[in-house]
């Protein structure tokens, strides 16, 4: 089956936003074994949108449109689809109730008092279509089955589109595919993409089913194995030997093979399984590290508190960094990172601590430690390690890399210093 994507929105044609939905949906379609030959972007204009959609319906089996489902007059996507498919727009009762509930919740936070009329427009769907609930917004997604073809309409904001696709559209499309495509991703940390690719070049070239592909993520490399087979079990049989070979080559650099599991989730699990708590002491990352750990549901079992020690005074007062260290070595130094971690663990009464101090830029930096230099400290059970990193990129990029590298260091320390069999007996999670 072939799929085609139409992204709707004048803001894309004006270059105000980057079309990340395009890459996301293309990747998912590839996972599903759908062949995509065309993507288009078209503005909020009825005539051109209809023209684009008509051409797509002629040449593709699955046509996905994203954007233009909102409450405003600009939002024309489903009107265009209804027009081309010659269907009336009718109100979907369930969607209306969802909008009402969602908006009532929303209105509690604002001085606005009533749900404006234009919101109800979002409950309209083409006659005979399937409304897809939007957990994170008001506009439902829509599936229209038109003969052998399928039209799928999705809301534009990635925060609404992605969960809807993962939970509802992907399973729907998966069912329509006769041959299944199954993939497994081995997620690897602590190694760069070009090195990873070099290490497995023979597999990439030799393997046809499953195929082997590498994807670089900030601070991580994901290796995806994708097999085509009659059913899931047959696909897994093809995948397993290659996965085993990869595990042999990368050893404990492979932190998970579970879809949707993040590095921070793995770290939280490791801590939980050993009954350990950790605290964070952050300078240049300013809370981004603790925020990422707290993003994991249940993180409260392992992280009770954290410190943002942005100024030298805060480093001294909150986590007892020595005045002499700051004076002689500076706040961006191996010694300061060590003292931040050790002092943080003490102040929080935690089993361990992770510290980050560096020059994120654009200002700051010294000859010895230019912008991009970051020291990451990790202490557990009296043993402290400090890693010196040198990152490229702007302020945001340096900070993001520092966060990932801190998580990688934490994982490494737990694995090496607290093997799984030495568990604290006090842990409630065991």
Residues 180-239 that bind a copy of itself (CB under 8 A): 183, 190-195, 197-198, 201, 204, 213-216, 218, 224, 226
Contact 418, 381 (CB under 8 A): yes
Sole binder of a copy of itself in the list 252, 394, 416, 430 (CB under 8 A): 394
Q: Which of 195, 429 has the CB closer to a copy of itself?
A: 195
User: What SS3 class is residue 148?
Assistant: coil
Whose CA is closest to 40, among 31, 28, 49, 32? 49
119 binds a copy of itself (CB under 8 A): yes
Structure tokens, 331: 């706040």
Stretch 58-97: interaction string toward a copy of itself, x if CB under 8 A = ------------xxxxx-----------------------
Q: Which of 369, 380 has the CB closer to a copy of itself?
A: 369
Sole binder of a copy of itself in the list 1, 29, 65, 164 (CB under 8 A): 29
Site for a copy of itself in 288-317 (CB under 8 A): 288-291, 293-295, 297-300, 303-311, 313-314, 317
Whose CA is closest to 40, among 13, 15, 17, 62? 13
From 15-23, 145-153, 413-421, 422-430, give the range in contact with a copy of itself by CB under 8 A. 15-23
From 25-33, 172-180, 266-274, 378-386, give the range in contact with a copy of itself by CB under 8 A. 25-33
Q: In degrees rounded to 5, what are phi and psi of residue 210?
A: -80, 155
| 380, β-bridge pairs | 352, 383
Q: Which of 144, 331 has the CB closer to a copy of itself?
A: 331
Contact 62, 2 (CB under 8 A): yes
Provide, rounded to whole angstroms, the least separation between the CB of residue 125 and a copy of itself.
19
Contact 365, 397 (CB under 8 A): no
Sole binder of a copy of itself in the list 79, 89, 287, 417 (CB under 8 A): 287
Site for a copy of itself in 315-344 (CB under 8 A): 317-318
Q: Please state, in angstroms and rounded to a whole number, the distance separating the CA atoms of residues 180 and 178.
A: 6
Sole binder of a copy of itself in the list 11, 61, 245, 269 (CB under 8 A): 11
Q: Please state, in angstroms and rounded to a whole number, the distance separating the CA atoms of residues 259 and 197.
A: 21
Structure tokens, 328: 């002689």
Q: Could you count the other beta carbons within 10 Å of the beta carbon of residue 231?
A: 10
Provide, rounded to whole angstroms, the least separation between the CB of residue 128 and a copy of itself.
28
Q: Please state, in angstroms and rounded to a whole number, the distance separating the CA atoms of residues 282 and 288.
A: 8
45 binds a copy of itself (CB under 8 A): yes
């Amino acid at each position: 089956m072939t799929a085609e994507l139409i992204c709707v929105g004048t803001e894309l044609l004006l270059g105000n936003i980057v079309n990340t939905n395009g890459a996301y949906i293309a990747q998912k379609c590839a996972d599903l074994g759908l062949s995509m030959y065309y993507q288009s972007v078209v503005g909020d204009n009825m005539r051109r949108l209809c023209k684009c959609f008509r051409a797509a319906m002629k040449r593709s089996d699955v046509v996905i449109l994203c954007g233009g489902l909102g409450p405003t007059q600009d939002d024309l996507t489903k009107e265009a689809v209804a027009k081309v498919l010659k269907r009336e727009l009718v109100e979907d009762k369930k969607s209306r109730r969802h909008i009402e509930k969602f908006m009532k919740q929303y209105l509690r936070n604002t001085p606005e008092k009533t749900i404006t009329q234009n919101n109800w427009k979002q409950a309209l769907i083409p006659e005979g279509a399937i409304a897809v609930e939007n957990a994170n917004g008001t506009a439902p997604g829509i599936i229209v089955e038109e003969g052998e073809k399928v039209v799928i309409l999705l809301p534009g904001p990635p925060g609404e589109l992605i969960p809807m696709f993962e939970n509802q559209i992907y399973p729907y499309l998966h069912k329509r595919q006769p041959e299944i495509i199954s993939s497994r991703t081995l997620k690897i940390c602590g190694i760069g993409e070009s090195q990873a690719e070099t290490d497995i070049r023979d597999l990439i070239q030799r393997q046809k089913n499953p195929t082997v592909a590498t994807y670089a993520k900030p601070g991580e490399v994901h290796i995806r194995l994708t097999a085509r087979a009659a059913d899931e079990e047959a696909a897994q049989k093809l995948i397993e030997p290659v996965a085993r070979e990869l595990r042999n080559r990368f050893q404990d650099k492979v932190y998970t093979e579970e879809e949707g599991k993040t590095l921070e989730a793995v770290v939280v699990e490791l801590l939980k399984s050993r009954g350990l708590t950790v605290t964070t002491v952050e300078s240049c990352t300013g809370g981004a590290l603790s925020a990422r750990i707290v993003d994991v549901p249940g993180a409260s079992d392992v992280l009770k508190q954290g410190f943002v020690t942005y100024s030298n005074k805060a480093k001294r007062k909150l986590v007892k960094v020595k005045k002499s260290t700051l004076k002689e070595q500076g706040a961006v130094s191996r010694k300061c990172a060590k003292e931040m971690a050790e002092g943080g663990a003490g102040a929080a009464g935690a089993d361990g601590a992770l510290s980050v101090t560096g020059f994120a830029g654009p200002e700051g930096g010294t000859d010895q430690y230019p912008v991009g230099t970051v020291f990451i400290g990790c202490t557990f059970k009296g043993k402290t390690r400090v890693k010196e990193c040198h990152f490229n990129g702007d302020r945001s990029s340096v900070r993001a890399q520092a966060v990932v590298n801190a998580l990688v260091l934490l994982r490494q320390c737990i694995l090496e210093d607290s093997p799984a069999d030495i568990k604290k007996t006090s842990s409630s999670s065991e």
